[in-house]
Amino acid sequence: MDEDLTLRIQGMTCPTCEGTLQRVLSRLPGIRSVAADHTTREVRTIGDPTPDEGSIREAVEDAGYDLVGVS
């Protein structure tokens, strides 16, 4: 069953940032879909199974952004 997560990202300020985060997060095992929106500073992921929060945080921070919340 797919799991839908919304990630709140600090530092995502433009369409290039969106592309970077979409590319980085789509490489994580289990992630099937990623949609980023710099205007809301949110990224929506769909996965089965979705990676643990630590793996997601590491990928986001390695790309130069901060994960400030997951829901």
Give tens-digit pLDDT for 43-56: 999 999 889 999 99
For residue range 19-43, what is the model confidence (pLDDT) as tens digits?
A: 999 999 999 999 999 999 999 999 9
pLDDT at 35: 98
pLDDT at 4: 95
Taking residue 1's Cβ as centre, other Cβ atoms within 10 Å add up to 4
Nearest-CA neighbor of 68 among 40, 28, 48, 32?
Answer: 40
pLDDT at 54: 96
Rg over CA atoms, the chain: 11
Could you give the maximum distance between any two Cα atoms of the chain, in Å?
32
**10 vs 47: CA distance, rounded Å:** 22
pTM of the model: 0.94
C-alpha distances in Å from residue 32, one per residue of 2, 17, 28, 58: 9, 19, 9, 18
